Amino acid sequence: MEKKQSFALALHGGAGTITRASLTPELEKEYRTALRQALEVGYNILREGGSALTAVEATVVNLEDCPLFNAGRGSVFNKLGFHEMDASIMCGRNLEAGAITGVRNIKNPILLASEVLHHSDHVFLSHPGAEEFARNQGLAFEPDAYFFTQQRYDQWQALRDSDVYMLDHSETEEKKFGTVGAVAVDLEGNLAAATSTGGMTNKNFNRIGDTPVIGAGTYANNKTCAVSCTGHGEYFIRNVVAYDISCLMEYKGLSLTEASNLVVHQKLKQHGGEGGLVAVSYTCEVALPFNSEGMYRGSWVAGQEPTVAIYQE
């Protein structure tokens, strides 16, 4: 008898110097609640037979709408005081993909990436062409005020007119990599991955990180795995991190856990590349490795309990 296909979902809300000392109990609870709610959104879709692509899209929309995370509504301020966002999504069944970079005022960048996947001849669009495409597709725009959060504004005020940029809403001694992402395998055995970010506080405008780069920040292939990354993007681009995990499985026969541990704890670390990733395999294996102090993360495999975590366990 053929093994009944199961399903699984994993997500992240960024990695970095996240320690127990840096979060108040109240804030920690808010993060855990938000992660748990996003997990439920994707899990319910998968349980009802929805596709992995739909599940990761809806999960990331939920995380983008939450001001706690640096993506969508909670995006940080760039050097000029704008919110510039990147996102990408990939379908493991047919290797179709959509990615966008440097967009402003798009309520849910992951939905724009998804429109590029489904309704464009292209894979990768950037501002302002990406915004023109968004208008043609009838996507929701929001005024700058929608993306305003006092905490992000204060962080930017502390850095503007300096050459310092920050990877997220962190204190000076901290580094946080503000990204959200989700990966899933559905009841049909199809995989998908999605990633979205608001970039780095006070970054020079028009820097592109790994989030919208297919193969670096996002990758999905039904033969192997779906991967969504969060970390110091430059290292993830140079190491083609997401596709590397797929190749280690397909060409070298490693398991998802072996492949993702090798990439995060050895290859990236050896180059000084800080961050982590979430991944699921076509066999519903889940991996959530990170080499930073913490990573907002969660996973839920069919028939098991959901897990949500922040620090090193």
Residues labelled catalytic: 179
- Of 96 and 188, which has the nearer Cβ to a copy of itself? 96
Total binding residues toward a copy of itself, as defined by CB under 8 A:
42
Of residues 203 through 222, those in contact with a copy of itself by CB under 8 A are: 204-209, 213-216, 219
Position 18, amino acid: I
User: How far, in Å, CA of 161 to CA of 298, rounded?
Assistant: 37
Residues in the chain: 313
Q: Are 14 and 179 in contact (CB under 8 A)?
A: yes
- 148 touching a copy of itself, by CB under 8 A: no
User: How far, in Å, CA of 9 to CA of 4, rounded?
Assistant: 17
Mark residues 224-263: x for contact with a copy of itself by CB under 8 A, - for none: ---------xx--xxxx--xx--xx--xx-----------
Burial class (CB in 10 A: 0-12, 13-18, 19+), 146: middle
Q: With H, G, I as helix, E, B as strand and everything else as coil, classify residue 194.
A: strand
Query: How far apart are CB 97 and a copy of itself at their closest, in Å?
Result: 5
Of 97, 67, 98, 72, the closest CA to residue 85 belongs to 72
**Candidate segments 37-45, 56-64, 94-102, 179-187, binder of a copy of itself by CB under 8 A:** 94-102
Q: From the list 30, 40, 105, 123, which residue makes contact with a copy of itself (rule: CB under 8 A)?
A: 123
Site residues, a copy of itself (CB under 8 A): 90, 95-97, 101-102, 121-130, 132-133, 204-209, 213-216, 219, 233-234, 237-240, 243-244, 247-248, 251-252, 271
